[in-house]
Chains A and B, each alone.
Chain A
Amino acid sequence: MLKDITLGQYFPVDSVLHRMDPRFKIIFTMLFIIMLFAGNSIWTLVLGAVFVLMAQLLSKIPLKMSWKSIKPILPILVFTAVLNLEFISSGDVLWEWSFIKITEGGLQTSVFMICRIILLIVGSSLLTYTTSPILLTDAIEALMSPLRKIKFPVHEMAMMMSIALRFIPTLLEETDKIMSAQKARGAALDSGKLTQRVKALIPILIPLFVSAFRRAEELATAMECRCYRGGEGRTRLRQLRAEKRDYIGLFVCLVFLAASIVLNVLHKV
């Protein structure tokens, strides 16, 4: 079913990671990415792996879910590996066949890159697995609020984002319903030539657009009726509040980052 592909892949279980302040979780993810890309040695990978494993265990997200987030990028992984193998030539030649030449340096780099991408994906998808989309937008708004000083419409951006997030599942559900209704009238959606298939989309797209516009209009009216006037002076139902565990988490992240930098420098020498 269409509904099964959701954008926010929030996985609702109760864990420390779920309960953490979303603002801090975004910062952790950023620090983690910096850590991964600041270093170039084996220590970067070791520390990254330890960090991800720790977070994974704390989050109570089944490992199966992490595999699910890697699966779609497998082609990209293969592509990166091939490019690196092919274009980096340093060190001994390991294998050669007509114009293909695999060198030790190339192999090393491509293994390193693959591990780094996997860690990056698994680590950052933990953010979306443990944070609901609504909290995520709240946190983004909070983190971006300094930009208000330069007249950047932070609140409006966040509002648009949360409305979009709110309506993606609704629209998917609606698409599902319209597709079912037209299938019940014998619409052939998954057979025929390309032109026929494109034509077969019309009975779905038209009702979908009509209903999307209707919804937008209704929502705008409803917001007006409740005197929505933008972000000025608005209070929140969910106040984001940092607690001890968030500061502990921040400390751990900084330690990892520092360790990674130090080990990288030592390794180079």
Chain B
Amino acid sequence: MAILKTEGLTYTYSAGTPFEKTAVDHVDLCIEEHTMVGVIGHTGSGKSTLMQHFNGLLKPTSGKILLDGKDIWADKQKMREVRFRVGLVFQYPEYQLFEETVFKDIAFGPRNMGLGEEEIKRRVLETADALGMDRELLKRSPFALSGGQKRRAAIAGVMAMRPEVLILDEPCAGLDPKGRNLMLQQIRDYQKKTQSTVLLVSHSMEDVAEFTQKLLVMSKAKLFCYDDTAAVFRRSAELREMGLRVPQIASVMEKLRNRGFALPEDLYTVEQARDAMLHLLQKGGSTC
């Protein structure tokens, strides 16, 4: 079942002035439930703009967004409800922290939903656990945390609302490699556990190859394609033309294949590649 759908979605910034800029141009999309979707595209291709449409922060210049088959702009009174169902974490979300303690800050969203104190507490603790945040941390001021801890706190603030669709705009920007991986693993575990739909905007092909099932590729304000991750990476030549690339390991595999090694196609993660190469070596290799 499709949870999010767009029809001819178009958005123009500063329409009618000399600074006019169409950032999203006639995008038709259909995103299924319970999937982890990667969103990739060159800088300025309109990813963030598109994401802000899904929870009604931007109103399309033309076109429609359907959540569960209902136009989200049909009833403006229900917009807050839409925002609780589609959670959006902005790029560098740590700048939105404001409460005295991390606990209170994470509780801001659930409290706005009108939940009871017990339920709020349960959700905050659960989310903090899911993101590997110490209970001790929850009592501290959000301004006294490290960058990575702040990022977690901000993401937790949206996750605690338990949205059906969770959108994360470059959640790993500026984190160290180990921190990135841990964060993505936690996000994937959360997705599996809650059976929600997660949209992950990322500039790292390695990350999306490892963690997502589907890829949404934006190019110059247009939707280039929306397909299975493996299928998208098969179009490596077109991706390169757009200023994107395939994961590094996939390039290595491709070059090895070109030199006559009998490696299968569709190897996009280091683990897959390692297994395939070990398998090849055990078979007695060709030219080693």
Q: Does A91 contact B (CB under 8 A)?
A: no
Q: How far is the CB of B155 from chain A (nearest CB, A)?
A: 12
Q: Can you list 25 A-B pairs, Cβ within 8 angstroms, ordered by A? A: A3-B14, A177-B95, A178-B96, A180-B52, A180-B57, A181-B90, A181-B93, A181-B95, A181-B96, A184-B55, A184-B158, A185-B96, A185-B108, A185-B109, A185-B157, A186-B80, A186-B83, A186-B84, A186-B109, A186-B161, A188-B112, A203-B98, A203-B108, A206-B98, A207-B96
A183 partner residues in chain B, CB cutoff 8 A: 57, 83
Q: Does B87 contact A (CB under 8 A)?
A: yes
Q: How long is the Cα–Cα vector from A13 to B57 in the complex, in angstroms?
A: 32
Identity of the chain A residue whose Cβ is nearest the Cβ of B86 in the assembled complex: A184
A108 partner residues in chain B, CB cutoff 8 A: none
Given contacts A181-B90, A211-B95, 20 further A-B contacts (CB under 8 A): A4-B17, A11-B18, A12-B18, A177-B90, A180-B57, A181-B95, A183-B57, A184-B87, A184-B88, A184-B90, A185-B96, A185-B108, A185-B158, A186-B113, A187-B112, A188-B112, A202-B98, A203-B96, A207-B95, A207-B98
Per-residue B-contact encoding for A80-120, CB less than 8 Å = 1, 0 else:
00000000000000000000000000000000000000000
Per-residue B-contact encoding for A1-28, CB less than 8 Å = 1, 0 else:
0011000000111000000000000000
A196 partner residues in chain B, CB cutoff 8 A: none
- Given B18, B55, B83, B87, which contacts A13 in the complex, CB threshold below 8 Å? B18
Q: How far is the CB of A36 from chain B (nearest CB, A)?
A: 30
Q: Does B224 contact A (CB under 8 A)?
A: no
A145 partner residues in chain B, CB cutoff 8 A: none
Majority secondary structure, A binding face? helix
- Given A3, A13, A182, A202, which contacts B96 in the complex, CB threshold below 8 Å? A182
**Contact residue range for chain A?**
20 to 34
Q: How far is the CB of A206 from chain B (nearest CB, A)?
A: 4
Q: Does A54 contact B (CB under 8 A)?
A: no
Q: Does B190 contact A (CB under 8 A)?
A: no
Q: How far is the CB of B165 from chain A (nearest CB, A)?
A: 12
Q: How long is the Cα–Cα vector from A3 to B89 in the complex, in angstroms?
A: 21
Per-residue A-contact encoding for B80-118, CB less than 8 Å = 1, 0 else:
100110011110010111100000000011001100000
Q: Does B261 contact A (CB under 8 A)?
A: no
Considering the complex of A and B, which 4 residue pairs feature the smallest CB-CB distances, nearest first?
A: A186-B112, A206-B98, A181-B96, A185-B109
